[in-house]
């Protein structure tokens, strides 16, 4: 027996139509760095998205599922591309502008991007790559920048001005009726090991993910809110926020290229957002700025932090400022929302922080399991640690095959029965709260026991003199592996290793205490702001770190 319900496809087009009509007065505000910010209503975004679709089809010949890439900051024009490209049946490919140039060229060629939409300020990045981007036929430039850098682009690449392409085009478009399982957008992983891998999102997965983002026990935003979207639009679709807000009318404040702590503090004070989303390093920098130069951030009620674990000390510091930090976990392959740490009902005030410091609880759309080293499935008892595997309607089931043909499912990334192997090690409580203890590749295997590098880092970053800390496993003749603690001190601080180790000794088991220590100027970061521990391991192996071994000192 089948249902009597209408079969209406869940597409990005529906989000565009809804947001630009029902929530037509909501705004995308783009920070300009000086003078009045650019303000554009959702209705205007809808009209301009239609004009962009006409330009891509009529002037540039995009008439199918060709890939249209964006190399852009977070701004209104990027939002227009977010909707126009998938809604017309093409595929949006957001390019990570922080990838090394050779990786950036690799992903453009692998995805076969035919068109690149670029902010003028990023032409110094794109121009040297163009001779190596074989599929690219058109470059569309938006905003100020030195166009002369494209003079050597070659006869095979045509250069266009964004506003000139849109000028005079109709403000409505006959959007095609699309299959909801059709590709809408794609992102590539940051390629910390091997080449980046392409993840292709369907219209259906984006729509369902947007619904989950809007749940009250998720980000829970309404048209009374303004969200400061610091997380880049090239980083897993800005965590789904541009799609989610068109569903509910939340206003967006876009920082463009002004991502430093001082302009972010100025944006918050001036534009009064109630919510923001970014990785922990952004909030650490902003906290330092606010400590040095206090601003009025009283409008900010909540912050969503993901990408890597939020140090407890950072969470507590924002609590004192009246801003509640909400932890979330996800990855490129999970669209990204996998868990979010809302405190359950019936919990007393003294228990709340324990829940907030977890990665959060799984929503209905994400199934999870823990797998032990022998492949056994582990219980959800809050103690049994294993690798997290997930599946669901917005979870990747394969990687994009590109020129190689079919999509591929490497055995280290997907189980035989189709679950995504996240590479994260953790525990899950009986009521579905996830606590990650490490990445599988970063856990320290010492004398037959596991030491969580993340736990040591969080405890070290609670020290008043420590700005950042990263802990990695290094070879040890006796124990196999031992932790190396690399520490970034706050400006003017002078904590010594013995003091740091004593501080840590009050918080972790004695056998977990690092013997090897190094002060470093900054923790290396990946293109999406995560700690890049492979760099630290290489620096240690090559003797580039000034390491003190306290066990050598008796």
In 3-state terms the chain splits into helix, strand, coil percentages (rounded to 5) of 30, 25, 45
91: three-class secondary structure by DSSP: strand
Report the share of the chain in percent with pLDDT over 90.
82
**Structural contact between residues 36 and 28, judged by C-beta atoms closer than 8 angstroms:** no
Please confirm, yes or no, whether 333 is among the known catalytic residues.
yes
Q: What sign results for the dihedral spanned by CA atoms 16, 22, 24, 27?
A: negative
Q: Kindly calculate the radius of gyration of the chain based on its CA atoms and give it in whole angstroms.
A: 24
Are 425 and 385 contacting, i.e. CB atoms less than 8 angstroms apart? yes
User: What would the pLDDT profile of 299-342 be if each residue is shown by its tens digit?
Assistant: 999 999 998 778 898 999 999 999 999 999 999 999 999 999 99
Catalytic hit among 189, 435, 437, 526: 189
Residue 505 main-chain phi, psi, to 5 deg: -65, -20
- Residue 101, pLDDT > 60, answer yes
Sheet strand arrangement including 198-202: 158-161, 138-142, 113-119, 67-71, 91-94, 183-188, 198-202
**Predicted pLDDT of residue 530:** 79
**Cβ atoms 466, 488 nearer than 8 A:** yes
pLDDT reading at 235 higher than 80: yes
Residue 390, pLDDT score:
98
* Two structure tokens written together for 208: 């369902």
* Catalytic residue check, 481: no
Separation of alpha carbons 299 and 275, rounded Å: 8
Nearest to 9 by CA among 131, 137, 176, 156: 176
CB 420 within 8 Å of CB 396: yes
Query: How many whole angstroms separate alpha carbon 476 and alpha carbon 478?
Result: 6
**pLDDT surpasses 60 at 191:** no
Give the pLDDT confidence of 399-428 residue by residue, as tens digits: 999 766 788 899 989 999 999 999 999 999
Higher pLDDT, 534 or 159: 159
Coil, helix or strand at residue 498: helix
Place of tokens 């009209």: 47
- Alpha carbon distance 353, 283 (integer Å): 19
| DSSP output for 321-368 | TT-EEEEEEE-GGG-SEEEE-PPPTT--HHHHHHHHTS-EE--TT-EE
**Residues 6+ positions from 231 with CB-CB distance below 8 Å:** 238, 239, 241, 277, 278, 279, 306, 307
CA dist., res. 491 & res. 465, Å (int): 8
Mapping DSSP to helix (H, G, I), strand (E, B) and coil, where does residue 408 land? Answer: strand
Query: What CA–CA distances, in Å, run from 522 to 203, 281, 286, 420, 496?
Result: 40, 11, 16, 33, 17
208-222, 388-402, 438-452, 501-515: the lowest-pLDDT one: 438-452
Which three-class secondary structure state does DSSP give residue 552? helix
- Check pLDDT > 90 for residue 156: no
Q: How far is CA 363 from the centre of its chain?
A: 19
Inform me whether the pLDDT recorded for 182 exceeds 70.
yes
Q: What is the pLDDT of residue 8?
A: 97
- Which pLDDT score is estimated for 526? 83
Q: How many CB atoms lie within 10 A of CB 494?
A: 8
Predicted confidence at residue 446, as pLDDT, reads 85
Give the SS3 label for residue 256. Answer: strand
Distance CA 321, CA 340 (A): 22
* CB burial of residue 417 (10 Å; 0-12, 13-18, 19+): exposed
Instruction: Determine which one of 333, 387, 389, 457 is catalytic.
Output: 333
The domains of the chain, with CATH numbers, are 442-553 (3.30.300.30)
Residue with tokens 């970034």, as numbered in its chain = 488
| Cβ proximity of 146 and 123 under 8 Å | yes
Closest CA to 497 of 442, 458, 553: 553
Residue 451 has what pLDDT? Answer: 86
Which of 269, 429, 450, 525 is an active site residue? 450
Which of 65-79, 234-248, 274-288, 519-533 has the lowest average pLDDT?
519-533
Given the residues 301, 445, 449, 544, select the one marked as catalytic. Answer: 445
pLDDT tens-digit map of 75-98: 999 999 999 999 999 999 999 998
Q: Is 423 left (phi over 0), alpha (psi -120 to 50) or beta?
A: left
Residue 485: count of CB within 10 angstroms of its CB? 25
* Pairwise CA distance, residues 476 & 484, whole Å: 11
Q: What is each CA distance from 361 to 319, 364, 368, in whole angstroms?
A: 21, 10, 10
Distance of CA 196 to the CA centre of its chain: 15
Q: Are 531 and 308 in contact (CB under 8 A)?
A: yes
| Averaged pLDDT score across all residues of the chain | 94
Angle at 97 between CA 65 and CA 135, to 5 degrees: 40
Is the pLDDT confidence value at 3 over 60? Answer: yes
Contacts of 73 (CB under 8 A, 6+ apart): 119, 121, 122, 232, 233, 254, 255, 256, 257
Phi-psi domain of 81 (left: phi exceeds 0; alpha: psi -120 through 50; beta: other): alpha
Q: 183-188 and 158-161 as β-strands: parallel, antiparallel, unpaired? A: unpaired
Which band of pLDDT confidence, cut at 50, 70 and 90, is reported for residue 192?
A: low
Q: What is the pLDDT of residue 509?
A: 82
Phi, psi of 161 (to 5 degrees): -95, 130
Q: Is 445 in the active site?
A: yes
What's the whole-model pTM score?
Answer: 0.86
pLDDT range class, residue 100, cuts 50, 70, 90: confident
d(CA 525, CA 543): 20
CA contacts within 13 A on the Cβ side of 209 = 30
CB atoms inside a 10 Å sphere around CB 543: 8
């Amino acid at each position: 027996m089948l249902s009597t319900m209408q079969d209406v496809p869940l597409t990005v087009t529906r989000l565009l139509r809804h947001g630009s009509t029902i929530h037509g007065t909501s705004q995308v505000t783009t920070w300009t760095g000086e003078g009045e910010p650019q303000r554009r209503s959702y209705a205007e975004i809808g009209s301009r998205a239609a004009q962009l679709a006409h330009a891509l089809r009529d002037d540039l010949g995009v008439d199918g599922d060709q890939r249209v890439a964006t190399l852009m900051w977070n701004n209104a024009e990027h939002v227009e591309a977010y909707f126009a490209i998938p809604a017309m049946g093409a595929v949006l490919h957001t390019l990570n502008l922080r990838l090394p140039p050779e990786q950036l060229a690799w992903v453009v060629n692998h995805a076969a991007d035919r068109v690149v939409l670029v902010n003028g300020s990023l032409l110094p990045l794109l121009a040297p790559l163009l001779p190596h981007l074989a599929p690219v036929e058109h470059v569309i430039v938006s905003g100020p920048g030195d166009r002369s850098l494209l003079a050597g682009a070659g006869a095979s690449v045509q250069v266009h001005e964004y506003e000139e392409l849109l000028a005079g085009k109709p403000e409505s478009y006959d959007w095609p009726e699309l299959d909801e399982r059709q590709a809408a957008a794609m992102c590539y992983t940051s390629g910390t090991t091997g080449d980046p891998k392409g993840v292709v999102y369907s219209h259906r997965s984006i729509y369902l993910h947007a619904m989950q983002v809007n749940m009250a026990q998720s980000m829970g935003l309404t048209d009374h809110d303004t969200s400061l979207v610091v997380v880049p639009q090239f980083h897993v679709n800005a965590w789904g926020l541009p799609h989610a807000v068109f569903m509910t009318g939340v206003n967006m404040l876009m920082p463009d290229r002004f991502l430093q702590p001082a302009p972010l503090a100025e944006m918050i004070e001036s534009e009064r957002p109630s919510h923001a989303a970014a990785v922990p390093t952004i909030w650490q920098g902003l906290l330092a700025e606010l400590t040095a130069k206090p601003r009025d951030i009283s409008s900010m009620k909540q912050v969503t932090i993901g990408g890597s674990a939020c140090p407890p000390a950072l969470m507590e510091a924002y609590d004192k400022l009246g801003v509640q930090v909400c932890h979330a976990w996800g990855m490129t392959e999970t669209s990204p929302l996998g868990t979010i740490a809302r405190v359950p009902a019936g919990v007393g005030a003294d228990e709340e922080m324990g829940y907030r410091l977890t990665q959060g609880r799984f929503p209905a759309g994400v199934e999870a399991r823990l797998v032990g080293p022998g492949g056994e499935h582990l219980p959800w008892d809050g103690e049994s640690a294993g690798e997290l595997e997930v599946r669901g309607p917005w979870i990747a089931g394969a990687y994009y095959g590109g020129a190689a043909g079919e999509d591929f499912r490497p055995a280290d990334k997907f189980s035989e029965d189709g679950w995504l192997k996240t590479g994260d090690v953790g525990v899950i409580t009986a009521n579905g709260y996830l606590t990650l203890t490490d990445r599988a590749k970063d856990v320290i295997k010492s004398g037959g026991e596991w030491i969580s590098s993340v736990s040591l880092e969080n405890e070290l970053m609670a020290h008043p003199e420590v700005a950042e800390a990263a802990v990695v496993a290094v070879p040890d003749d006796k124990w196999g592996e031992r932790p190396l603690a690399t520490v970034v001190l706050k400006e003017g601080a002078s904590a010594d290793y013995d003091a740091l180790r004593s501080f840590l000794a009050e918080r972790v088991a004695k056998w977990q205490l690092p013997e090897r220590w190094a002060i470093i100027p900054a923790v290396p970061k990946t293109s999406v702001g995560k700690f890049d521990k492979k760099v630290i391991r290489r620096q240690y192996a090559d003797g580039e770190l000034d390491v003190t071994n306290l066990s050598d000192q008796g």
